[in-house]
Structure formats: structure tokens, C-alpha cells
Structure 1
Amino acid sequence: MQSSAHLSSRDLSADLADWTGPQLLEGYARKTLSPVDVTKAVIAHIEAREPPLRALYAFDPEAALNAAKESEQRWMRGEARALDGIPATIKENIATKGTPVPLGTAARPLIPAAEDAPAAARLREDGVVILAKTTMPDYGMLSSGLSSFHPLTRNPWDLTKNPGGSSAGAGAAAAAGYGPFHIGTDIGGSIRLPASWCGVFGLKPSFGRIPIDPTYYGRVAGPMTRTVRDAALMMTSLTRPDVRDPMSLPYQDLPWLDLNLDIKGLRIGVMMEAGIGLPLDPEIRATVERAAQLLSQAGAVIEEVPAFITREMLDGLDDFWRQRAWADMAPLSEAERAKILPYIRQWAEGGKDLTGAEVYSGMNQMMVMRHAAVAATHRFDFVISPVAPCVAYPAELASPIHNPEEPFEHIGYTVAFNMSDQPASSVNAGFTRAGLPIGLQIIGRRFDDVGVLRLSQAWEEMCPEKRPWPKV
């Protein structure tokens, strides 16, 4: 393969880090581009930007370069794998063999993982070059880059702002150009919120579409990328079956890369109000209203979707997850619990005295939420909404309100679609006057992941406000 020096008279060291997955595969196939050159470029890109961002954990340039050399040899022998040589990061809680999984908290022992979790295994099988893991808050229970284990992760668009979470490092890494592929997890908004606040694309797939381990009610893994097509390309790999996930869907060979969609005649609901939580920022409202107008002009039939989340639903979910978190923390010693982020520890302690009936009632409210979400959206081809009621908030805060007694006031638009198993994405829809990204949520019918990708691609092309990626 030719080195990057033969590609152009320009200095491509920075440009290569910004190439998309399909562009890289085309360059590799033509033998005008080498996975080694690309990996070196991305490593240099990271090393220049990572000191202020702190998006990565277990960054291993040497291992990445070794993997890139192996990829280069496969391309030269004509034995390239499906995604061979594309650089990627993986969220810290998705195990990679030999790397400890602290779950964002200083309270856990650092024991190397025995094997790759399903998502990591699929990417590695397909020749992806794993650069690093990405940061997350304690136990993944914050929409924030704040952690007792990892340094504070910041937003590339404005270093004084939070990237969101819990896929904090993944969102920041995608926006900053740490390669094309990133993967996060989501149980209440943890892919879509950082995608929205970092201006990238994030897909929360249907529950069970991507096998995970360990599995849990509502928890999914999904791609976080700069483009919809990169996410679709990741789905060709991530969705392959894995026996370790007994809650996964039966495997389907879906047309992930067919992203064409005729908007004319689509029934699209607009859910402008969450029903509970923080009031909607006027700039976000105007941006989502503009998206609805543009979709209408393209031929979609637009109809309002009334709010359906209630205080009882959100408080019930809060009770259940407080007790679930306390169950993880209760066996720890006092010294170990003292290492947990104080905000998370205080929030979880609110669950220790809940009765069995109260916890059961909380779980039941999650089922009520599930039924309400499907009932409110099933008559539409798609529903659009804000991703969050607010834009990125100060980096040092654990949540927009920063009050563990009001922990979920910002997830009213996202959490219901974890409970209902529906696919949902965040795609950038514009920016505030201060230059902060605003995400548009696109929700599909249960199991219509391809449809969500298609409408996301259509919106990505239609979006009237596009800006260069931040240089940090």
C-alpha cells in the first residue's frame, strides 16, 4: 500500500483522522491508503486534543498500531475483513479482553476482563482497530462526564460544558474526530443525550438488536458517529448474534446500508412536550419546530403527539433504580463506598430503606411507561422530539439540576423509549446562538431500526445548519 504521502500534496495527517468509514474502506481497497497511516494520523489527532478533553481510558497506541499493521497485511493479501482497518473506541463498560472495567467508579477493583463483550468481539472480528476505551460516570448513572475514577470529560464544542453521559467519552471522542467509529450504551438516554450535546449521531437500537453482556432491562449498546452512514456500517457488525445475551432478538440480515427514504406521505408525530421535568429551552423548541416544518415541506404529514410521561412514572423509575444501585453498593465496605462520587452515593442511599412493595411499584411504573409510549406513537411511521429540554450544561455538574433528589428531570424525552424497546436516534438539528449543538430525536416503531436510520439520513441531508467540527 502507498503511504499517505502519495495521496496528495497536502498534509493529510489531520485529514485522515476525519475520514468516514466508507471513505477509508474505499481507500484501502484501491491501495491508495494504509490502515497504518490512518491509525498514526488518528493517534496524533488524539494526542493533540486529549489533554483538555479527557475522553479516553486505556488508550493504547502501540496495540492499535500493531492491529493496523495486521490489517494492512490482510488488505495486501486480499483477505480483508468487512471493516478492516477502521479506527474505533469502545465505552469503558463494554469489556475488552485484558482491560479492567471500573464502571466509572473508584470503588471497583481493577480486574482485567477475561474476554471481549459481544460488541467488542464483533468489531474485532471484522478487523476494526480498537484505539481505546471511553469514559463514563460512576455506574453509568449520570448524564455527565463526571466520575470518581476518570478525569472530568469535557465537551469539544465548549470546554466549559459537559459532554453528557453516561456515554460521555464516546460523545466527546466522536465530535473531536478520534476516528469514525464509537460505541456507547443507553438505558435512559445515555447514547442520545451525549450525542445531542456533542452534535454527533447516536442510535439507541431496539432492545436486543445488538447482543450485550451483561444484559439488563432496557439496556442497549449502539453506535455514536459523526455520520448516519458510519453508524449503519457499524450495525452490519454489531448485530450479529451472541449466545451470551439471552434477551437478544433473533438475528436478521437487515439492509443496514440502504438508507434511501421517500419522505412524501410519511406520518410523523411531533412530541414537543415531555410531560414532566425541566421546561423546554426556547432555542431547542424553535429548532425542533423548524425540523417539523421542513419535513412537512418535503411531503410528510405532521401531527402533534401529546405528552404521556407522568410524575408517577418518573418517580417510580427513580425508586427502582435507586434501590438497584444501592444493591450494588450495599456489600461494599464503608471505605469503598467513600470512593464513590458523592452525588451518586447520596442518590443510591435513597433506595436503601425502600420496601419491597415500593420497589415493585416502581418497576410497575416502568411497565406503565412502556405501554404509554407504544400507545402514543404506534399510529405514526416516526415521531420526532427534542432529545433533552436543555443544551450542554457546566462541565463540573453531575446533572443539569445537580440535585440527587431530582436526578431525572432531563430524561423525559428519552427514557420511555428504552422501556418500550423502540429504536430512537439523536441527529444534530442546529446550534444555539452560543454555538452549542441541539439534537433532534427520531423514534421509530418497535424493531424498525433501519427506518430510524433512513429518516436520520434524510434529516442529516436536509438539515439547514451545518458547521465544521470543533478543533478543541
Structure 2
Amino acid sequence: MTESIETAPVLSRRALLKTASSAAACAIAPGWAMADTHSADLELCYMPASDLLTKFKAKDLSPVEVLEAQFRRTDAVEERLNNFIATYPEESLAAARASEDRYMKGEGLPLDGITIATKDELAIKGRPLTAGTLPLKDAIADETDPLAERLFADGAIPHAITTVPEMYFAGVTWSKAWGVTRNPWNTKYTVGGSSGGSGGALASGQTTLATGSDMGGSIRIPAAFCGLYGFKPPYGRVPASLGATFLLPSTSGPMARTLKDMILLQNNMAGPTPNSLTALRPKLTLPLEYDGVEGMRIAYNIDQGWAEIEPETLDLFMKAVEGLRSQGATLEEVDLGLGLTGPQIRLAITQALLSGAFGGQMKGLIAYADQLTSYGRYFAEVAATGMGPDEALAAANTIERLNILVQQAVFDNGYQALLSPTLNTSRVQADYDPVNDAPRINGKAVDPHAGLFQTPLWNLLNWYPVVSAPIGLTPYNMPAGMQIVANTFEDAICMQVAAAHEAVSPKLFSGELMPDIG
């Protein structure tokens, strides 16, 4: 579902911005049909939002130039990667020209001119809202989510909608509705899920920022697979999306290639919206700069007591631990003492998700069983056959017990943050089927749903803020990630540790550390 637009070569807008009136500048035709701009395009496609905003304000660069470059990038890579279900060139171009006009007048907005790919979950009136499932493939949103309204109000340009797995219920992104989404770092492998298209679009330079949501790791998993920063805010920091008021394990959040960009988007998303029921007051605005970690006590845990981790990922994780230790923090390994296996944690998150209103929606898909993916059908059947008040009570009891154990092991002992791997391996095929495939790590069979990720614990404990930060590339050219967990609602601690990590970690999306997709 993509608009088409006729384009023509143009002179550089930045040369005109200093001298032309805003009206003249806005009259220039779009130029993403140009063929000799690859290197310059890549610079614009991957430039951080924080740098773009500075250049826009100085009139050294136009939002139109960036948008055009990113649409050229999409033309070049989208067929191989499949990150988008819809793009909006004409509408976005008009928005970019309006943004340029505001900058010419000195009236720029907080995210003015910044492209943002929105997950196929964030409703924008008149645009698709399919949840990645065939029964809803032609569904169109009839209202705009307040979170999306904020993006428009701050001048951001939602230029594309990203792919998701069916009903957001997989850690990989493929569906009967939209096909397989592949990772630009290594197209054999997945972008993760469920915010997979958002992660892939960022990693491939098709957008500057992207929205995600997280109900089992759906921001942190693709952030790790794609080499990004992703934030699962504590429940209530970001207002619940339309229809998700009582989906307690879930929250919306930001994804970006740099920590500062991630915080910029988080500051847009945080705080109450009109009529919001779940949003915390007052709004928390996070700083963009942080002190170091010297003197901080930080715990780390490798496997939650159950996970099998490949050596390549573990090596990168331990290097990240040493990077923080080298800056004067005390890093100590802790045993969380959870007493649960990965499948038991998966059962608890499934109970928490499907024993309420969302379970009713999943149950309703049974009527369309022949149109569903293997994993969509599996979870629809689980919702229909075994989820009710008993399961809700079991999940609640598990959550309370896990919280006590985490507090006792970490925060009651004076640690200010907890580190763990995000993924147990990044070696997951793009079309991996969690129902029919049998994954192995280090030659050992692992649970097909729970054995690949260490994220669901923090959706059960959804009041803890968690950043997934990139920790480098494996020898098979796939990123890996590290979770940074702070105590309940202490978002700034996550950012402080993440900032220290970013200062000494490999800089993906720069120099030779770029996805090799042309």
C-alpha cells in the first residue's frame, strides 16, 4: 500500500536555504529519482535526529533532503528487506516542506522534520491498522491515537508503517499478510519482533526514528537484533495505546540508532494525553546528557538461572560489562534466584496477556483459523481453551513473587542497575517458526518460544524501566544487545548507565560498521 509520485532531479536545497525565501524553497520539486547521490544519501539516511535538528535550525540542511534520501533508500532496499506495509511520499513531502518553512521563519518544533516509522499498531486515521493478520489486512484506522497526534504536533513526519508478526505474538517478523522481514546486517536472519519492521527500517536507514511497543520484548528484541537502542518504559510512563488500557504487561516506547535519539522520542511519548487513564503525572522529561558511572554499583546476571547462551553473544556481553567497570563502576555478578525456567516465565506472561481483554480478541480469531499463521493459530487456541480468572490469579502470584526476588537479589543489596543479555543468540532465521521449528543453542535444544530471549521477565515486572543497548557485532555479522534494568520508575538510571556504555562501545552505523546491503 504505497503512494506513487513523479519526481525530478533538483539542485541542493541546502544551498538555497540560506538565501531563498521560504516560499521559493518550498516550491522546489522533490528529487528522490536522482541516481548519483548514494554516498551523500547514506549520510543523510543515517544521520542522528539530534544532528539533523541542529542542521535544520541552522538552515544547513532541509527536512525535504532527508526525506527524499530515505525514500530513495527505500526504493533501493525495501524489496529485499520488507520493512514497510505502506509509505506516504506525497503526504510526507508536504509535511517536510511545511517543516522547512517553519525553520526558515525560526519557528521549528521539537521534532520538526524528523521522519518516524510507526508500528502497525499505532492508529493514524485513514491509514492501515492490520496487526499483521490476514483477517484485518484491509482494516483502516478510523481515529488517530493520541501518541500519534503528539508526533504530528511536534513536527515529526510519520512517513511509513512498519511490518509486525501476526497480532504481535512472535519474536520474529513474518506473516501471511505481509511476508518475511529480513535483517539488513545479514539477510539470512530476523529483525526480531514484534516491532521488527521498525527495527529493520532504522538499521537500513529508511527512517530516522521509529515507534515500538513491548509486551514480551517487542522493542528490546528487535533493538538487539538490529543494533539499536530501545526502551521499555515502566508501565504508565507512556499512555496506553487505544484499546490497550488494561494490557498491563505491554507499553509503547521508542527505538533509535543512538541513545540521545531514543531519549528525544521518549520525551515526546511520555506523559498524559487527553483522557488518558494510565499515564503517570507529572510527565517525566529525561535529560539528554548524563554523568558517568564512577562509584555506581551495578549487578549483572548472565542467564536468569535457565538460559543457554551462545559464546559469541556472551563474549560481547562480558566486554560491555568490562567497559562499564573500566569507567569506575563496581560490577558484580548476582544470582537472581528466580526458581523458574524460561518456559515457566513464558507461561506466566501468556497467562497475563491472554486471561483478559486481549485474550478475548485472540480467541475471536479462531473463526479465521485457515487464514492464520502457525503461531497466530497456536495463541488463538490457547486463548480459547485455557485462559480465565484462574490463570490471571496464577500470573499475579508469579509477578508478586518475582518482584520480591529481584528486589532481594539486586536493589535491596545496594545495586543501582542490573545488566543481562537481551538475546541468547542472534542466529535466528528470518522465517523462523516458533511452532514448527526446533531451535538449538550450543547443540542443546531450547524452548521454541522462550529459549531465544531474556526479555519476558521484565514484562511481568513491567514497572521496571529497561533499555536494550547494542554491544557489537558477532562473527556472523549480527548485532547483539544488553538489557539495562533500573529499579521501578527510575528511568534516568537506565539512561545514565546506557550513556556510559555508549561512550566506550562499538559505534554501529559508522565507518566500517554498516549493514552491507548496497
Displaced runs of 4+ in structure 1, greater than 6 A? Answer: none
- The Cα offsets for residues 22-76 of structure 1, whole Å up to 9 and x where unpaired, read as 2111111111211111111111111111110100122111111111011111112
The unaligned stretches of length 5 or more in structure 2 are 1-10, 18-35, 440-445
| Percentage identity across paired residues of the two chains | 29
What is aligned with 2:283?
252
Spell out the pairing of 1:44-443 with structure 2 (5 A cutoff): 44-108=72-136, 110-213=138-241, 214-215=244-245, 216-257=247-288, 259-276=289-306, 278-309=307-338, 310-311=340-341, 312-321=344-353, 327-332=360-365, 334=367, 336-354=368-386, 356-378=389-411, 379-399=414-434, 402=437, 406=447, 408-410=449-451, 413-420=454-461, 421-443=463-485
Amino acid at match of 1:315: L
Amino acid at match of 2:314: R
**2-structure distance, mates of 1:317, 1:16:** 40
Which moves more between the two structures, 223-232 or 372-381? Answer: 372-381
Alpha carbons 2:364, 2:380 under 8 Å: kept = no
**1-structure distance, mates of 2:474, 2:436:** 20
What is aligned with 1:444?
486
**2-structure distance, mates of 1:464, 1:102:** 37
CA RMSD of aligned residues (A): 2.5
Q: 1:274 to 1:412 in 2, by over 3 A?
A: farther
- From 447, 452, 455, the equivalent of 2:497 is 455
Q: CA deviation at 1:108?
A: 2.3
Alpha carbons 2:254, 2:266 under 8 Å: kept = yes
- The Cα offsets for residues 269-327 of structure 1, whole Å up to 9 and x where unpaired, read as 01112223x41111112221222222222211111121344134443333444555652
Amino acid at match of 1:361: A
- The Cα offsets for residues 362-389 of structure 1, whole Å up to 9 and x where unpaired, read as 3432343344334433231111110011
**2-structure distance, mates of 1:86, 1:246:** 29
**2-structure distance, mates of 1:301, 1:102:** 47
Q: 1:363 to 1:139 in 2, by over 3 A?
A: farther
- The Cα offsets for residues 369-412 of structure 1, whole Å up to 9 and x where unpaired, read as 34433443323111111001111401111349836994542366
**2-structure distance, mates of 1:52, 1:247:** 39
Alpha carbons 1:118, 1:212 under 8 Å: kept = no
Which moves more between the two structures, 354-363 or 48-57? Answer: 354-363
Which moves more between the two structures, 307-316 or 166-175? Answer: 307-316
Amino acid at match of 2:433: A
What is aligned with 2:13?
3
Q: CA deviation at 1:333?
A: 6.4
Amino acid at match of 1:328: Q
What is aligned with 2:3?
none
| Alignment size in residue pairs | 468
**1-structure distance, mates of 2:364, 2:410:** 41
Q: 1:362 to 1:39 in 2, by over 3 A?
A: same
**2-structure distance, mates of 1:230, 1:358:** 39
Amino acid at match of 2:180: L
- The Cα offsets for residues 180-230 of structure 1, whole Å up to 9 and x where unpaired, read as 211100011111111111111111112111113233202111111110011
**2-structure distance, mates of 1:329, 1:358:** 16
Q: 1:266 to 1:39 in 2, by over 3 A?
A: same
**2-structure distance, mates of 1:51, 1:394:** 18
**2-structure distance, mates of 1:370, 1:184:** 25
Alpha carbons 1:107, 1:337 under 8 Å: kept = no
Amino acid at match of 2:450: E
**3-state SS of paired residue (1:353):** helix
Q: CA deviation at 1:110?
A: 3.0
Alpha carbons 2:293, 2:496 under 8 Å: kept = no
Alpha carbons 1:4, 1:34 under 8 Å: kept = yes
Amino acid at match of 2:349: L
Alpha carbons 2:375, 2:434 under 8 Å: kept = no
Alpha carbons 1:373, 1:416 under 8 Å: kept = no
What is aligned with 2:27?
none
Amino acid at match of 2:173: G
**2-structure distance, mates of 1:332, 1:441:** 33
**1-structure distance, mates of 2:132, 2:399:** 25
**3-state SS of paired residue (2:180):** coil
